[in-house]
Every structure is written in structure tokens, then in C-alpha cells.
Amino acid sequence: MITKKDVEHVARLARLSLSEEDKTNLTDQLGKILGYIEKLSEPDTSKVQPTAHPFASKTVWREDKTFRWSPAEPLLDNAPEKEENFFKVNKVIDG
């Protein structure tokens, strides 16, 4: 059970200034939160395998394949600026 004293202690640790109304509201809200957390521990989960994800998952990798665009011009036609066969962009790192 959360008490007003608990809320005042946490507020002091967090260096928060709370009004009496805030303290009353937070006491009620934190009590409800902790009550809900207690409900989560009620079901028997001893036979449930711990998992990081609820579904069986497998990482699917594809083989990297390189290929050349035979005509690069259609791609470069849409570029605002180009230089030879490259997109030309503003410099983003000085050095």
C-alpha cells in the first residue's frame, strides 16, 4: 500500500515540489499501479518457457548480390545535380 509519506519521499529524491492535491492524487494512482502489477504475478507461469518474443522467429538472411545498373542515366535524370555518373550532394562533414 502506497502512503502519502512514500510519495513525499520519492518526490524529495526526485527534487519535486508537490502540492497536497498532487500528493493525494499520486498516492491513489501509484497504489492502483502497484495493485495491477500484483495481479500480473497471480497466474501460474512456472510451465511457460521464457522468451524474448511471443512468436517463434528465425532470422532470414539473403545472399548479398552485387549488380551494375547498365544504364545509370535514367536514375540520374531525376537528380537535381549530378557529376559524371554520381549524384552530387552538399558536403555534410567538414574536415
pLDDT in tens, 21-58: 999 999 999 999 999 999 988 999 889 888 887 787 77
Find the mean pLDDT for residues 1-14: 94
Boundaries of domain holding 12? 4-40
Domain presence at residue 58: no
The DSSP secondary structure of the chain, one letter per residue, reads ---HHHHHHHHHHTT----HHHHHHHHHHHHHHHHHHHHHT-S--TTSPP-SSSS--------------S--HHHHTT-SSEETTEE--------
Find the mean pLDDT for residues 53-68: 81
Domain presence at residue 77: no
Q: How confident is the model at residue 94 (pLDDT cuts 50, 70, 90)?
A: confident
CATH number of the structural domain spanning residue 32: 1.10.20
Domain presence at residue 29: yes
Query: How many domains does the chain contain in total?
Result: 1
